[in-house]
Chain A
């Protein structure tokens, strides 16, 4: 692994170089909110920010995505045949992604691209055409608990490059081959730089004030966790609104729907959510997760038990804390994990 130095006053020109073959995006303030926005070549990105209100999963898994098109003409053979959408035309660089979000996409890779049979072309295309330049967190939020979730404020997982803010310059770590290539021309970091980065990492990890344990969850059988008594309490205040699933970087459930307008037809996929009654409703009227408790339990069991069981111990949560900040009834995922682990 190579460690390089990028001076902040040279960052804009470094990114302009990348922009020759890639579209750039980075967190930016818009109307007082922190959102992902296109970064114009020559523009310097934000270095000081917490995290965007919504996760950047939209880049790989848009809220609405056209999968296929067809001609809406049922009386004619070609009319009913589906044609795949073209792939992403231009590569991208996602600049200053927080390590928790980068990690989340590494987890989702295991779900969208499982094997030969389950290899989602829409996800894969966008992943392969995106360079992720992560920016380590030096000032985590009180809602962050990434260090408990196989992640951390300086985690490299899922990123191609990890930047660490050292004041007027950034330490740039090449994580993947693609990342190494992107920073190859930058000057090497000195031992002092590495020491400063290590100290920043230590301080950031120490600043994560909440932790949760997973040992009992991992230890216990599925049914013991499923039948635990706390679910009655956990589900009480939930409105099944789905805010947690929309802001979550690892929530990935979707629906597929056909849309037609005149002669044009398309098959789209939309974000869907396990809090919805319709999500699992059978044609017969039977619903395997008919109660609110079933649905609330599903979300947490999926993240903290089902995904770990199925995906070699990876957790379906990276501790970004968005759901803690945005839940309208103050359900705190950390409390739920503590109850599950109690």
Chain B
């Protein structure tokens, strides 16, 4: 019998401390068994349980795109037992991955539309996956204009600098990266994500917005989109809740009748408006 609780064994092929506060560390993972890599077919927006024997599991969004090959990328914030242990682990160490779990961004439904992606802080992970996927030559032509707005408090807290610097050089994506306050050596945008959104003023016509960030960013970004005429059906968000099983049984991540782990993590704003705000 297939056991959805059994993690696939993987080896850490590379790590990188992403931020100046050393809170966020990226892990590139390779499957030990080629068959497991085959079985792990994912789509941007999905997550996986990172499993460290003796410590436990944590649900983390997949930051790599399936267009990048079999290596998986996860960026982990150091907050608890498992994430602290993970931060001590290094290249060559063996751990487990269980997934892919949850639904994904509605990439199919988004075809033919303009795509606006708004990310704040480390919520950018599955959006890195999405942008990478959208920009792939097999997919790019199926979508209209792509706008990527990404902010963090300081330049040192921005993730994936190599990627977004590349994206800024391209002419098929409008890439606005901002920091909260002026900082030495920073020649990019300065300002909170909501005000950058106001300046960029993405049009709602034939468009979809993917918005992920801390609650405070969401709270102030929402009115900007409302003012620009966006409808809640056009706004797609990704939730986080505490999880264990990851497959819709264990009972803790639910928002009303919907399980974030199985029915989500991706929901439209319209769906969330009809549910208790238990996230």
A residues adjacent to B (C-beta < 8 A): 67-68, 70, 72, 74, 77, 79-82, 84, 87, 111-112, 114, 117-121, 124-125, 222-223, 226, 252-258, 260, 265, 267, 272, 274, 279-284, 288-289, 294, 298, 301-302, 305-307, 309-310
Contact = CB atoms under 8 A, between A and B. Distances in A.
B245 A119 contact: no
A68 B5 CA distance: 9
Contacts, number: 138
Given A112-B249, A119-B2, A256-B245, A282 B240 contact: yes
A257 B242 contact: no
3 residue pairs, one from A and one from B, having the closest CB atoms: A253-B251, A283-B79, A306-B257
Contacts of A282: 240-242
B275 A222 contact: yes
Contacts of B1: 87, 121, 124-125
B94 interface: yes
27 contacts: A68-B6, A70-B53, A70-B54, A80-B52, A80-B93, A82-B96, A84-B3, A114-B248, A119-B2, A120-B4, A120-B247, A121-B1, A121-B3, A222-B257, A222-B276, A226-B276, A252-B251, A254-B244, A254-B251, A256-B57, A272-B244, A280-B278, A283-B58, A288-B277, A301-B256, A305-B257, A306-B256
A272 B250 contact: yes
A83 to B, nearest CB: 8
Given A72-B53, A119-B2, A81 B242 contact: no
Interface string B86-129: 00000001111000000000000000000000000000000000
Interface in B1-48: 1-7, 9, 32
B80 interface: yes
A231 to B, nearest CB: 12
Contacts of A74: 53-54, 93
Nearest to B215: A286
A118 B4 contact: yes
A259 to B, nearest CB: 8
Nearest to B77: A283
A87 B58 CA distance: 26
B250 A255 contact: yes
B254 A265 contact: no
Nearest to B9: A81
Given A222-B256, A256-B56, A274 B79 contact: no
Contacts of A256: 5, 56-57, 244-245, 250
A305 B257 CA distance: 8
The range of chain B's interface size is 35 or more
Contacts of B279: 288
B79 A118 contact: no
Contacts of A223: 274-276
Nearest to B254: A306
A80 B244 contact: no
Given A80-B9, A80-B95, A118-B4, A280 B55 contact: no
A118 B3 contact: no
Interface in B235-279: 240-242, 244-245, 247-257, 262, 274-279
A144 to B, nearest CB: 26
B221 interface: no
User: Of B4, B93, B248, B256, which is in contact with the most chain A CB atoms at under 10 Å from its CB?
Assistant: B256
A2 B58 CA distance: 51
Contacts of B96: 80-82
Which residue, A68, A80, A253, A265, has most C-beta atoms of chain B within 10 A?
Answer: A80
A77 B252 contact: no
Nearest to B256: A222
Nearest to B262: A118
B51 interface: yes
Given A80-B95, A81-B96, A118 B241 contact: no
B83 interface: yes
Given A117-B247, A119-B2, A283-B77, A258 B252 contact: no
A70 B95 CA distance: 12
A121 B5 CA distance: 9
Which of A124, A282, A309: most chain B CB closer than 10 A? A282
A252 B244 CA distance: 13
B53 A280 contact: no
B54 A258 contact: yes
B88 to A, nearest CB: 10
A111 B249 contact: yes
A253 B250 contact: yes
Contacts of B262: 117-118
Contacts of A252: 249, 251
A301 B277 CA distance: 14
A302 B5 CA distance: 24
A288 B278 contact: yes
Contacts of A124: 1
B248 A118 contact: yes
Contact of A260 (B3, B54, B95, B242): B54
Given A82-B51, A117-B247, A253-B251, A280 B56 contact: no
